[in-house]
Amino acid sequence: MFYILRKQRQKVAIKTQKQKETILEYARQHKTIKSSDLLDVLNVGEQRVRKLLLEMVSEGTLIPEGANRNRTYRLKS
């Protein structure tokens, strides 16, 4: 049972890492990004996009700019 749960967590971690790499690539191609831009790019829901962006901000990868409704993100220089 523990082995199965461990494998599932590894799959989630790999998927999360791939999604973050996709966000980074998109951010390199565009100066600023919005969470709404990533909905179609990642083909996931709003909550997942917000969670990924929040993680990347806390990791120091992305910098948020603007108020909640008009928030954009850019790569850390």
Which tops the pLDDT comparison, 47 or 4?
A: 47
Flag whether 56 is in a domain.
yes
Residue 47 lies in domain: 15-75
Flag whether 36 is in a domain.
yes
* Arithmetic mean of pLDDT, 54-65: 94
pLDDT given for residue 10 in this prediction: 66
Flag whether 23 is in a domain.
yes
Flag whether 31 is in a domain.
yes
Domain count, the chain: 1
Cα(73)–Cα(41) distance, integer angstroms: 15
Total-model pTM = 0.82
Flag whether 2 is in a domain.
no
Which tops the pLDDT comparison, 69 or 19?
A: 19
CATH number at residue 53: 1.10.10.10
| Residue 13 confidence (pLDDT) above 90 | no
Flag whether 7 is in a domain.
no
Q: Per-residue DSSP letters for 5-63? A: HHHHHHHHHHHHHHHHHHHHHHHHHSSSB-HHHHHHHHT--HHHHHHHHHHHHHHTSEE
